[in-house]
Amino acid sequence: MSFAKTLETEKPIRRVIQTVAEKLIESLCFLCAAVSVLTTFGVVAILCYEVAGFFTKVSFSEFFLSTEWTPLFYHKSFGIWPLVCGTLLISFIAMCVALPLGLLVAVYLSEFAHPKTRKVVKPILEILAGIPTIVYGYFALLFVTPVLQSIIPTLEGFNALAPGMVMGIMILPMVASLSEDALYVVPRSLREGSYAMGATKLQVVFSVVFPAAIGGITASCILALSRAVGETMIVAIAAGQQPALHFNPLKAIEAMTAYIVQVSLGDTPHGTIEYQTIFAVGAVLFVMTLVLNMVSLRIRERYQRMFG
């Protein structure tokens, strides 16, 4: 009893200060969190507002059914598909590069590399992810395209192939690093179980460890795809600005992000239909990446429970 009493009466002022300080820090943290959440809401709100404005002038059927995108020309047409096609084509090429290479790197680092090699290579890979994308863009335009042209003479100066490949290199560290994490956390007991059955190292890796990590690997690939879809500078610089509905990687094409850059760099006045197209395209892009990120998150959650 007397002990409890001393606790309560001891230095009341200091305790008051402590309580106030804690409340202060707590509300400060809440404020920071609130700012980021509110910003997101703000962005979505503006996007919705401008998109609503856009669709008062352009019909849904025009936007989703027309196959031409010429809002900057005299004869305006607002079919989103050429831009979507550009984004998908380049992202597809990027995934063709990033997926096999990234997974091989991940398997090598997680299963075969000496721990010391892993310690050195992984940070280097992550540096690759830190290179500004504009550098990648000019790398694609001024180095990769000319090199490819010497092999494929019909390749245009602006094309989908070079930026796609460079983008693949750009997202490779993401695929490799996240997939490597997924492989690395596969429980040791599973590997031992497989070895104890008389499996060879390759069999252990490809028949047990890889399938066990497939959830994390898929999630990382989708996340990388989402990054590719949203990537801007590389496609704006090296892919060209000709929205066209084709799947020929040798010809110029315009991605959604590249279109947004193109219009926002010009002197398009506020409130015009050209200005509002940015938001319409942005909204489509937003929905695409949002869906990809959510799918990735769901897959990750589902498979995490597997070893819980």
- Is 184 a binding residue for other proteins by CB under 8 A? The answer is no
**What six digits make up the tokens of 264?**
């926002």
- Is 189 a binding residue for other proteins by CB under 8 A? The answer is yes
The residue from 98, 125, 208, 258 that contacts other proteins (CB under 8 A) is: 208
- Of 132 and 308, the one with the shorter C-beta distance to other proteins is 308
Please return the burial class of 304, using the count of CB atoms within 10 Å of its CB with bins 0-12, 13-18 and 19+.
middle
Q: What is the DSSP letter of 252?
A: -
The residue from 87, 110, 159, 194 that contacts other proteins (CB under 8 A) is: 194
Annotate each residue in 278-307 with x if it binds other proteins (CB under 8 A) or - if it does not, as one string: ----------------------------x-
Task: Please count the residues of this chain forming the interface with other proteins, following the rule CB under 8 A.
Answer: 19
Q: How far apart are CA 128 and CA 167, in angstroms?
A: 12
Amino acid at 53: G
Q: How far is CA 137 from the centre of its chain?
A: 17
The residue from 196, 265, 267, 269 that contacts other proteins (CB under 8 A) is: 196
Site for other proteins in 246-265 (CB under 8 A): none
Site for other proteins in 30-49 (CB under 8 A): none
The residue from 22, 26, 126, 192 that contacts other proteins (CB under 8 A) is: 192
- Residue 277's alpha-carbon distances to 188, 256, 282, in angstroms, are 53, 11, 8
Sign of CA pseudo-dihedral 282, 288, 291, 292: negative
In DSSP terms, 78 is beta-bridged to: 69
- Is 190 a binding residue for other proteins by CB under 8 A? The answer is yes
The residue from 47, 199, 263, 273 that contacts other proteins (CB under 8 A) is: 199
Of 44-52, 72-80, 128-136, 185-193: span binding other proteins (CB under 8 A): 185-193
- Is 269 a binding residue for other proteins by CB under 8 A? The answer is no
Instruction: In angstroms, give the least distance from the CB of 89 to other proteins.
Output: 35
Instruction: In angstroms, give the least distance from the CB of 209 to other proteins.
Output: 10
Instruction: In angstroms, give the least distance from the CB of 198 to other proteins.
Output: 4
Task: Provide the H-helix boundaries in the chain.
Answer: 2-9, 12-57, 60-65, 81-107, 115-128, 133-139, 145-151, 161-184, 188-196, 201-203, 210-212, 214-230, 233-238, 256-265, 273-304
- Is 212 a binding residue for other proteins by CB under 8 A? The answer is yes
- Residue 188's alpha-carbon distances to 184, 220, 261, 288, in angstroms, are 9, 22, 48, 37
The footprint of other proteins (CB under 8 A) covers 187, 189-200, 203, 207-208, 211-212, 306
